[in-house]
Amino acid sequence: MNRTVETVGERKSFAGATPVTVKVQPHDTAGNPSPAAENYHDLVNGNVISYGSIAQVATQVITVTFDPPVAGPVDMQPGQVASGSYKIKTVVVSTADGSKIESEYPVSRDLTYVGREALQTEMGTFNACKFTNKQTTGTGETAFVTTFTTWVAAEGAHRGQLLKIHTLPADSRPEVTTERIKMTYTPK
């Protein structure tokens, strides 16, 4: 199982807004860290809003922007579905020569609130909200479907934070489970 450390940081300008930054530091099954990414989220009018991310990987800086930002209600009832469509815009810039590659893909999703359950993790047991998210990326013959199951802390100091995600691709890619092992909060 892969492990991830998240650190919530200060607000920064991104995609025309000033969302909260979340540094995400993945680790592989042997505990080796992968390059970190900085994700941009906020809570606006009862919706969790995701704006995108920036990551530096080897000799590239990758910026992903959601257009429009991805939104989902905080207060959902079991069985309730939040559907939406957006575009994933990706800009990859070489740190060596500044060259740039841009791409854009349509995405549709159906986020379903399954309900509450106790989730045992390395950080302890959490009262968690469980969701499934069926996501279709692309169109026609190039489209692929991925189903994610996520658990989010329902209460306490980590309320609203992603605790665990299980990814089940519809194609031949392997299933992946990622669990948070540490969350550090910095003052805002």
35-81 pLDDT, tens digit per residue, is 778 999 888 888 889 999 999 888 999 999 999 999 988 889 999 99
| Displacement of CA 150 from its chain's centroid (Å) | 10
pLDDT tens digits for 119-166? 998 888 999 999 999 999 998 888 889 999 999 888 887 777 788 889
Q: Which residue has the tokens 């919530």?
A: 8
Confidence (pLDDT) at 142: 84
For 121, other C-beta atoms within 10 Å of its C-beta total: 15
Confidence (pLDDT) at 121: 87
How many whole angstroms separate alpha carbon 54 and alpha carbon 92?
10
